[in-house]
A and B are shown apart, each in its own frame.
Chain A
Amino acid sequence: MAEDEIIIDSISKSFKQGSQTLEVIKEVSFNVSRGEFICIVGPSGCGKTTLLKMICGLEPPTLGRILIRGNPPNPKVHKFGVIFQEDSLMPWRNVMNNIKFGLEIRGMDEIKAKQIAEKYIEIVGLKGFENYYPHQLSGGMKKRVAIARALAIDPDLILMDEPFADLDAQTRSFMQKELFRIWSGLNKTIIFITHNVEEAVFLAQRVIIMTRRPSRVKAIIKIDLPHPRNRLSPPFISYREKILNMFHEEIWG
């Protein structure tokens, strides 16, 4: 097995709300290898987004530590490609300029940035929409712009927070295949959050199942299936059922 890219070492996170403290994450530990595709599933409000924000250094853990290639997460050191759960496009920039944003921040010159952006516009299938503004795009197209923007900086680590949640079934399935193709071609480390167990089994090498709040790791399931995975094959279905059962235990108690 490859070396550990990310070490998550018994982290806990609580939020203070006035006099109350909300314990969101409790003693979560797991490691991620370089080039691995990890899916995290868990009930709504259990702290998946919070976990993701800690991994990219936006939120400090209350206890414990996170190491990425031996250092605490720092966007100026590590190249993160984060796809947020909510809309994160700048409404005053068109598609092209949104995708160029990360390159611009990193100080790349105009011409080169444009070339790279064009390449990713092509990959996410938005050719011809370069000059559209976010309010002229569908929800799924916006998500694809965010994905292109994250990929364009050639990130070391891709963090995706339910990126396909608002896509229709066809686009969703298409984007899953595209993401898998991109991942297998570039061999990037991906941490992918989803509500959708089938999606997790389709994509991941390992699926991490979180408990209800205060959230712990309930189980880590290795998906030992070759790609491309067939959603109707008996082993696929048995993985899916197994994870779904654990998931439902957490939702219904």
Chain B
Amino acid sequence: MTLVNRRLIYSLLYYIISIATFLTLWEILVILLSNPYFPSPLSIFRAITRIAIFGDIDGYTLIQHIYASLERVMIGFFIAVITGVPLGLLIGIFPIVRALSIPVIEPIRFIPPIAWIPLAIILLVGMSRYAFIIWVGAFFPILLNTIAGVKRTSITLVQMAKTFGADRNQIIMKIIFPSSLPEVMTGLRVGLGVGWMCIVAAEMIGGDPIGLGRLIIKYANLIQTDVVVAGMISISLIGMCINYMILALEKRMFKWRVEVTT
């Protein structure tokens, strides 16, 4: 057996031990507490299969909830990308844009997405409510990482391009943008993660009876905690999947970056 194989088997083993221990301790806790509202792993598993196959009280299945939430997050995230990346590039490249926009952006950045909810309820309707809350969550990681990427651009590379007679456009397109792309991608990954985590907040105020956040809220009102936790776990697993998918993409795209390959 090769060393790599052995290491893989060991890490898999630790993984299983970790999860199994956690679930066992949980199950013991359930027995000790004997509180009917404290859900056990087994009841949560049953809740997940039930919702997945038969749907919830309104008849929506788990896949439909997931799809509705993903769609909303993607719309908010898309708007965050097309606003955050260009603005980040402009702020990073032009000191005047930075000087004019940072005084406004900095204080807004420290308003948590949840604090925007009342305003969104009053001012927005329909999809724009969801999209806005997701956008608030996703925009700032994208913006800040893009700025950081521009700032990290090597001065030597810019000078090198200048000595070949590159104009400002060429320097931006051929040096600054490709050199900041890894940070931009990190921003997209973190932004999508944060946006996804804002889904419960967004669906608290959206009227539609569908979406993973909505599912949690519906069953919280019914005090059926097993479904509540089932919804929470669904959010967690999908968030993890998205994160690892983008990470894998980053590794493929940025082979030239030694940090990601090692």
Given contacts A91-B257, A133-B255, contact A84 B164 (CB under 8 A): no
Give the residues from 90 to 117 in chain A that come closer than 8 angstroms, CB to CB, to chain B: 90-93, 101-102, 104-106
Cβ contact within 8 Å between B159 and A84: yes
Cβ contact within 8 Å between A153 and B159: no
Cα distance, A105 to B161, chains bound together (Å): 8
Cβ contact within 8 Å between B156 and A86: yes
Cβ contact within 8 Å between B165 and A105: yes
> Which of A74-82, A173-181, A236-244 is found at the contact surface with chain B?
A74-82
Cβ contact within 8 Å between B163 and A80: yes
Interface centre among B161, B164, B254, B255 (most CB of A within 10 A): B164
Q: Does A88 contact B (CB under 8 A)?
A: yes
Cα distance, A80 to B258, chains bound together (Å): 31
Q: Does B49 contact A (CB under 8 A)?
A: no
Cα distance, A104 to B164, chains bound together (Å): 10
Main secondary structure of the interface of B (DSSP, over half): helix
Q: Does A248 contact B (CB under 8 A)?
A: no
Cα distance, A46 to B106, chains bound together (Å): 43
Q: What are the residues of chain B within 8 A of A93 when measuring CB–CB?
A: 256
Q: Whose C-beta in chain A lies nearest to the C-beta of B181?
A: A92
1/0 per residue, CB under 8 A from A, across B117-159: the answer is 0000000000000000000000000000000000000001101
- For A, the interface residue count at a CB cutoff of 8 angstroms equals 26
Q: Which single member of A53, A80, A90 contacts B178 (CB below 8 Å)? A: A90
Cβ contact within 8 Å between A105 and B166: yes
Main secondary structure of the interface of A (DSSP, over half): loop
Looking at chain B, what size class is its interface with the partner chain? Answer: 20 to 34
Given contacts A82-B160, A101-B164, contact A134 B170 (CB under 8 A): no
Cα distance, A86 to B158, chains bound together (Å): 13
Cβ contact within 8 Å between B164 and A134: no
Q: How far is the CB of B77 from chain A (nearest CB, A)?
A: 25
Q: What are the residues of chain B within 8 A of A80 when measuring CB–CB?
A: 163-164
Q: Does A63 contact B (CB under 8 A)?
A: no
Q: What are the residues of chain A within 8 A of B66 when measuring CB–CB?
A: none
Q: Whose C-beta in chain A lies nearest to the C-beta of B161?
A: A105
Q: Does B175 contact A (CB under 8 A)?
A: yes
Q: Does A135 contact B (CB under 8 A)?
A: yes
Cβ contact within 8 Å between A90 and B157: yes
Cα distance, A57 to B161, chains bound together (Å): 12
Cβ contact within 8 Å between B160 and A88: yes
Q: Whose C-beta in chain B lies nearest to the C-beta of A146?
A: B160
6 cross-chain pairs, A with B, having the tightest CB-CB distances, nearest first: A75-B165, A82-B163, A102-B164, A88-B160, A105-B164, A76-B165
A binding-site residues for B, Cβ under 8 Å: 53, 56-58, 75-76, 79-80, 82, 84, 86-88, 90-93, 101-102, 104-106, 133-135, 153
Extra pairs beyond A90-B179, A92-B181 (7, CB < 8 Å) = A75-B162, A75-B163, A84-B156, A84-B160, A86-B156, A90-B178, A105-B174
